[in-house]
Amino acid sequence: MKSRLVNQLCFVFFCFCFLLASLLPAVAQQHITLEQCIEKALESNYSIKIIRNEQKIAENNFNYEPFLPTLDLSAGQRQTISDSKTTTEGTDRKVNNARSDALTAGVALNWRLFDGMEMFMTRSRYREMLLIGELNTRLAIENLIVQVSSYYFDVIRQQSKLDAARHSLDLSGARYAEARDKYMLGVLSGLEAQQAKLDLNADSSNYMKQKELLKSAYISLNMIMNTDLQQDLYVQDSIILRDPLIYPQLKEKMLQYNTTLAVARRDRKVSEIDMKIARAALFPTLDFGAGYNYSRTKSPDVTTSLNRNNGPYWGFSLGMNIFNRLENRRKIKNARLEVENADLSYQEVEQQLRADLAQLYNTYENNLQIVNFEQESADVAFDNLDAAIEKYKLGTLSGLEFREFQRSYIDAVDREVSAIYQAKISELSLLLISGQIVFM
């Protein structure tokens, strides 16, 4: 009895040290919430940085450049050396190595006053491209939030599985200590102790594999946050499902707020603007021009040794392309077809989103039902395991029978955690497709 008591105390002390060693890093590590993980990812993720730079490019393109005049400054200087011969009424006049120096300078302003509304349509196109850039940024942020959330909840899932594996390992350790002590007392055969040792080794192996899966889940989460890949044990949370989502409300919000659908609408608007820009070539253009020119030519070896002109100029010019090999008509026809294609693409995107929403909601409903089943099964498995532990201690339950209850508990916990995780992922997918993910 004394030996048995000592062994039990040693085992309890070993379990206490093991749990303390595993909990110390978690205590030392600062806990981070899902919102903080999302915030870190939005600040550091490379994809978000790239898409934001692309949005800045669209912002730079949206300006008043189509309405502004152009101002050009030019200057030039040229020297020449030439030989010339002139015959006048039988008299020859030769000049060798004649030098001339020409200097020109000028400033010219050109301002297009009318171009068939093309300048207005061009600015409108830049505005639409800016809005598309903002929508693409929003789409990237939404997808990133879903990715971070899925990795975060996967960490919780793997942690829950690790906790269950640790509990099973503790039970197997206690069972092995019990079987070994009874074997030493001659109450049980060595076969039971050996089987308990095999089960303990199997649970130890399973526990180590689960630790590896948890570490991999942390690495994925750290990667998307662009932080130290070796950080772990900073998530202390649980997966909580929202109130059940309603299909008609999701459908209404999807048609109104879905980002992909909004991008398709803007693409259709851009195609309509492109057609108006193509039609602008059928109208005349009106330009205003003004400037100042200066020119001076010095030729000391000829009769006119200096020629200088300078002064301002201004005026209007009207132009219209009468015939351009049917190029304008071709562009207009193609632009009209692009508008039709953009409209068809919008309808295709909407139809695909409707189908995706229906499929996602069907999966979501099934996952919610599975969660209810698996939660009930996990509760029953836990109660059965408690009862099995008491019976095993009293000797009314064999080790093999106890092992079956233990396996049932592990499987039930695994199915419960996986079901909750899948239901949460379905929930996130529905929020994403209905345009609500940013406001979750």
pLDDT of residue 183: 77
> Can you tell me whether residue 321 is helix, strand or coil?
coil
If you average pLDDT over every residue of the chain, what do you get?
87
Least confident of 202-206, 287-291, 302-306, 331-335: 302-306
Instruction: Extract the tokens encoding 299.
Output: 């030729």
pLDDT of residue 69: 94
Contacts of residue 27, Cβ cutoff 8 Å, sequence gap at least 6: none
Report, as an integer, the average pLDDT of 43-51.
89
Rounded to an integer, what distance in angstroms lies between the CA atom of residue 143 and that of residue 226?
16
**Residue 210 above 60 pLDDT?**
yes
Query: With helix as H, strand as E and coil as C, how does the chain read?
Result: CHHHHHHHHHHHHHHHHHHHHHHHHHHHCCCCCHHHHHHHHHHHCHHHHHHHHHHHHHHHHCCCHHHCCEEEEEEEEEEEEEEEEEEECCEEEEEEEEEEEEEEEEEEEEEEEECCCHHHHHHHHHHHHHHHHHHHHHHHHHHHHHHHHHHHHHHHHHHHHHHHHHHHHHHHHHHHHHHHHHHHHCCCCHHHHHHHHHHHHHHHHHHHHHHHHHHHHHHHHHHHHCCCCCCCCCCCCCCCCCCCCCHHHHHHHHHHHCHHHHHHHHHHHHHHHHHHHHHHHHCCEEEEEEEEEEEEEECCCCCCCEEEEEEEEEEEEEECCCCCCCHHHHHHHHHHHHHHHHHHHHHHHHHHHHHHHHHHHHHHHHHHHHHHHHHHHHHHHHHHHHHHHHHHHHCCCCHHHHHHHHHHHHHHHHHHHHHHHHHHHHHHHHHHHCCCHHHC
**Residue 21 above 80 pLDDT?**
no
Q: Domain-by-domain residue ranges, the chain?
A: 2-62+116-284+322-439, 70-114+285-319
**For residue 12, what pLDDT band results from cuts at 50, 70 and 90?**
very low
**Residue 414 above 90 pLDDT?**
yes
CATH for 70-114+285-319, options being 1.10.150, 2.60.40, 2.30.30, 2.20.200: 2.20.200
Q: What's the burial of 313, exposed, middle or buried (CB within 10 Å: 0-12/13-18/19+)?
A: exposed
pLDDT of residue 324: 80
Homologous superfamily of domain range 2-62+116-284+322-439: Outer membrane efflux proteins (OEP) (1.20.1600.10)
Instruction: Extract the tokens encoding 53.
Output: 């730079």
pLDDT of residue 358: 97
Residue 437 DSSP label: G
Q: How do residues 107-152 score in pLDDT, each as one tens digit?
A: 999 999 999 899 999 999 999 999 999 999 999 999 999 999 999 9
Report, as an integer, the average pLDDT of 62-85.
87
Contact yes or no for 241/329 (Cβ under 8 A)? no
**For residue 6, what pLDDT band results from cuts at 50, 70 and 90?**
very low
Rounded to an integer, what distance in angstroms lies between the CA atom of residue 197 and that of residue 176?
6
Percent of the chain with pLDDT over 90: 64
One-letter amino acid for residue 51 of the chain: I
Report, as an integer, the average pLDDT of 241-262.
95
Closest C-alpha to 332, from 264, 265, 283 = 283
Report, as an integer, the average pLDDT of 252-274.
95
Report, as an integer, the average pLDDT of 164-193.
84
Report, as an integer, the average pLDDT of 363-375.
96
Least confident of 13-27, 32-46, 364-378, 404-418: 13-27
pLDDT of residue 304: 62
pLDDT of residue 389: 87
Contact yes or no for 346/269 (Cβ under 8 A)? no
Report, as an integer, the average pLDDT of 30-54.
90
**For residue 294, what pLDDT band results from cuts at 50, 70 and 90?**
very high
**Residue 206 above 90 pLDDT?**
yes
pLDDT of residue 300: 67
> 10 Å Cβ neighbour count for 2?
6
Report, as an integer, the average pLDDT of 408-430.
95
Range with top average pLDDT, 10-24, 351-365, 391-405: 351-365
- The end-to-end CA distance of the chain, in Å, is 60
Closest C-alpha to 293, from 273, 278, 308 = 308
Rounded to an integer, what distance in angstroms lies between the CA atom of residue 357 and that of residue 350?
10
pLDDT of residue 188: 67
**Residue 370 above 80 pLDDT?**
yes
**For residue 175, what pLDDT band results from cuts at 50, 70 and 90?**
confident
Closest C-alpha to 363, from 421, 422, 436, 412 = 422
Percent of the chain with pLDDT over 70: 90
Report, as an integer, the average pLDDT of 277-292.
93
pLDDT of residue 186: 76
pLDDT of residue 16: 44
pLDDT of residue 182: 76
Q: Give 6 or 72, the one with higher predicted confidence.
A: 72
**Residue 388 above 70 pLDDT?**
yes
Least confident of 10-14, 144-148, 173-177: 10-14
Rounded to an integer, what distance in angstroms lies between the CA atom of residue 33 and that of residue 40?
11
What is the residue-wise DSSP string for 251-294? Answer: HHHHHHH-HHHHHHHHHHHHHHHHHHHHHGGGS-EEEEEEEEEE
**Residue 29 above 90 pLDDT?**
no
Report, as an integer, the average pLDDT of 268-287.
93
Report, as an integer, the average pLDDT of 380-403.
87
**Residue 368 above 60 pLDDT?**
yes
Contact yes or no for 309/295 (Cβ under 8 A)? yes
Based on its alpha-carbon atoms, the radius of gyration of the chain, rounded to whole angstroms, reads 41
Rounded to an integer, what distance in angstroms lies between the CA atom of residue 14 and that of residue 169?
13
What order of strands is seen across the sheet that includes strand 306-319?
Answer: 70-88, 91-114, 285-298, 306-319
**For residue 218, what pLDDT band results from cuts at 50, 70 and 90?**
very high
